[in-house]
Amino acid sequence: MDPVSRSAAAAALRSHLLVSGLAGTVATTREKSLTRYRLFAARDPRALLGLEPERDWSVPELIALMAAECGVSADPGRLTGQDTIDPDRTVAALDAFAVRLAVAAERRAPVLLGTGHPDRLLGFYAALAAALSAAGCPVLAPAEGCRVDITTRFGVRPYNLSYVGGVALVAEPGARPAHGAPGAHTHSPLPLRTALAAAAAGPGPVPELVIGDHGWVCAAGQLGVEAMGPGDADDPALYVGRAEGRVSVVVPLDDAAPPDSYGPLARYVLDHSGLSP
């Protein structure tokens, strides 16, 4: 893609981010973000997402980090209202994301994709999985059908690890995940740990790159596997993982927008990585 076309594509994407609410003023509230920062500072597993920080992070340090990397307000005194994500940081991160995809495709690296937000992000990841598979990358599906016991606000619940369109997710026992009914919402690192343990124990390849969100990214990075994916304004674990060198790329965006909102992001990344069909 020539520089003029690349610039036009970036400008169009930036406009889409603002119109769709993926960046700019987002649905995530400042109260929710600050609560998650406090939980992370207290090393609460619900906010760590499988990451074990190398050092203690205070709430002011987390606010400063999130302001620099995501675009939230840097003012510790701002306690209410909607949070913000800088669209220019989102575009820059998607450019970096595309570079990593191109490298993986060139090397035909084994890739594992997984999401804890299948109702929103499944289509985004499925587009990447299809393109990587077409480029010769093994898109892995380890531990398919295995049980994963996840702690929820209702207690420990059993789920099954499933794959839809090459993307891992968890679903309630007996459910048949599909694009129309894609599974359960979770931030747990346990699905990634289950999948990675099965891959390591099996005869096939282990992933060299994990693409996903929340526990998929943080747990993979913690275990030494290259990982990247989106991070919302209330997801400090991903940004700390990147700051500490265990997460390759974090794309700042609202992760709870309508599913169709993410289609232009997938197309942009595939165009810029040379993987468009």
Q: Which of 192, 224, 225, 222 is nearest to 208 (CA)?
A: 225
Angstrom distance (rounded) from CA 214 to CA 50 = 9
The residues facing 212 across adjacent strands are 114
- pLDDT interval class at 100 (50, 70, 90): very high
How high is the pLDDT of residue 187?
96
Please give the structure tokens belonging to residue 81.
Answer: 């209202």
Q: What percent of the chain has pLDDT over 70?
A: 99
Q: How confident is the model at residue 4 (pLDDT cuts 50, 70, 90)?
A: low
CB 73 within 8 A of CB 67: yes
Mean pLDDT for all residues in the chain: 95
Provide the whole-model pTM: 0.95
CB 87 within 8 A of CB 265: no
Tell me the one-letter amino acid at 169: L
pLDDT one-digit tens code per residue, 124-167: 999 999 999 999 999 999 999 999 999 888 889 999 999 999 99
Burial 39-62 (b: 16+ CB within 10 A, else e): bbbeeeeebbbbbebeeebebebb
The contacts of residue 213 (CB under 8 Å, 6+ apart) are 115, 116, 117, 121, 229, 230, 231, 255
Dihedral pair phi/psi, residue 71, rounded to 5°: 105, 15
CA-wise closest residue to 257 among 41, 15, 25, 31: 25
> Residue 86 and residue 127: Cα distance in Å, rounded?
25
Give per-residue pLDDT as tens, 226-243: 999 999 999 999 999 999
Count CA atoms within 13 Å of residue 126 on its CB side.
18
Tens digits of residue pLDDT in 173-220 = 877 787 777 799 999 999 999 999 999 999 989 999 999 999 999 999
Taking a C-beta distance cutoff of 8 angstroms, is the pair 49, 255 a contact? no
CA-to-CA distance for 127 and 39, rounded, in angstroms? 33
Q: What is the DSSP string of 11-42?
A: HHHHHHHHHHTSSEEEEEEHHHHHHHHHHHHT
